[in-house]
Chains A and B, each alone.
Chain A
Amino acid sequence: MSLMSAEALYAGYGGVDILRNLHLRVEADEIVVIIGPNGAGKSTAMKAMFGLVPIRSGAVSYRGETITNQPAERMVSRGIAYVPQEANVFPSLSVVENLELGAYVLRGPNGPRMERVFEIFPRLKERRHQQAGVMSGGERQMVAMGRALMVEPTLLMLDEPTAGLSPRLIDETFERIRGINQLGIGVLMVEQNARQALAAADRGYVLATGENRYEDTGPALLANPEVAEMFLGG
């Protein structure tokens, strides 16, 4: 049984289908990457699976349970955490407050959860009283991921976690994501830095115009000449 899967999704905004017959799945211990050109529907696919874009037909399931079109609150309570592509921190709140809110749906003390996040992102501990809005792009991405990790998810959905980062920070981010995955957290991410993302991933999907184009292991997609020519810039 997959951790999360999407079957034959048709979804979009205001009656226009952006996703057409989309299939996706993530196994419990996997890192899965979605790549594809701008406007391919990658973000829409993530949002639809997380219940933020209405699904017209098809089904999303989580550990065998159907969760199609459920409100975000339920998704989070189940252990699915989602980090949007843009505006993914609370700018006027401090790092600590951003993290605390990440665990809003959970009861019990936040201290131990926060310590675990600080172990993954020591930089956040140093800057824990800083307002998130004034931090650098790299630090903001850490806050965003940290916020999502606070809910102790079993699946982490990341929309372009390396967007706008320097090459060094990009490497570091993929390193971190692998570390998070090794804690037993499944990762589904959309990436523009396709080569590096595929290298870090177990499996990948290539999306174009809202449809599946290719699906394979990371290394196989990297080695596929068609994928390389059309989607990885030769």
Chain B
Amino acid sequence: MIEIIQLLINGILLGSILALGAVGATMIFGVLRFAHFAHGDFMAIGAYFALTVVTVFNLPVLAALPVAMLLTGGLAILIDQVVYRRIRRVQPVILLIASFATALVLRSFIQMVWGSSNQVYQVGIQLPWRIGPFTLKPDHLLIFAAAAGLVLIVHLFLSRTRMGKAMRAMSDNMDLALVTGIPANRVIMWTWAIGGALAAAAGVFLGMDTRLHPVMGWTLLLPIFAATILGGIGRPYGAILGGLVIGCAMELSTLVIPGAYKPAVAFAIMVATLVFRPQGIIKGNA
């Protein structure tokens, strides 16, 4: 029982990281209709941007977080304008392949600039808190709080602002958004900015929890896509739930199978969702 609760705590932690990645990926899918394969590498580069801020200015990671989010959001817009924008009108599969190439380029860039060995934000070991039989690192609480804060901000953006509503409208019904006079290009730029910024946050949190290395994001891409599909493709709220479910399932699976198979668990859930409930776990159109 104690072990299960400890794994659930870890699962929610992993789940919040997945959720932040999945919200962006699902919004990009909703608005642009393609699976963005470079999303994991957005996470990684965001984490490294924060590393630079932390080491150069000697700041705590959380202070570097907004800078990393801003830079990655800007980078996402730039990549869209330079790479994706030109091929948007052709088949979605071309976009998908282009995003695959972007992923490789970003990863090589990270290796060139920051090297390919493991790095951490803070040297030294954080003493975990012991709460009864459970252990929790102070960083974990920070990650929970910051992730929850970001999710709340995204929620307020999507439900309260003109641009947020336009974004949901475009992902709902592209043609109708067009005839309503919603400016597609502006909405697309905002979608990249937000998707990139959230990916950066996910990457920074992952780096705080574990360590930084160039493929850190790429290895999480599959669970992120699994979360997106589980939550219903194109649905931000579903992606949050999907992220938490996949995170917990991956951690809990170590009770019965070796930890190396965690990604396989995400993959199995993804395939099962596609076969049995392709519209995702949430009912209705939410």
A interface residues with partner B (beta carbon < 8 Å): 50, 52, 72-73, 75-77, 82, 84, 87-93, 97, 100-102, 104-105, 131, 133-134, 147, 151
Contact = CB atoms under 8 A, between A and B. Distances in A.
Interface in B172-187: 172-173, 175-183
A101 B180 contact: yes
A90 B176 contact: yes
B180 A92 contact: no
B173 A76 contact: no
Contact of A84 (B165, B179, B182, B286): B179
Given A93-B165, A101-B165, A77 B172 contact: no
Interface residues of B, number: 20
Contacts of B168: 90, 92-93, 97
A133 B284 contact: yes
Nearest to B174: A87
Contact of A87 (B162, B165, B173, B286): B173
Contact of B169 (A50, A52, A101): A101
A176 B176 CA distance: 22
A37 B117 CA distance: 69
Interface of B: 162, 165-166, 168-169, 172-173, 175-183, 235, 284-286
A72 B179 contact: yes
A89 B175 CA distance: 10
A233 B175 CA distance: 34
Given A92-B168, A92-B285, A92-B286, A104 B178 contact: no
Contact of B285 (A91, A97, A101, A102): A91
B181 A105 contact: yes
Contacts of A93: 165, 168-169, 172
Which of B172, B175, B181, B286 has the largest number of chain A CB atoms within 10 A?
B181
| Shortest 6 CB-CB contacts between residues of A and residues of B | A76-B181, A133-B285, A92-B285, A105-B181, A90-B172, A73-B181
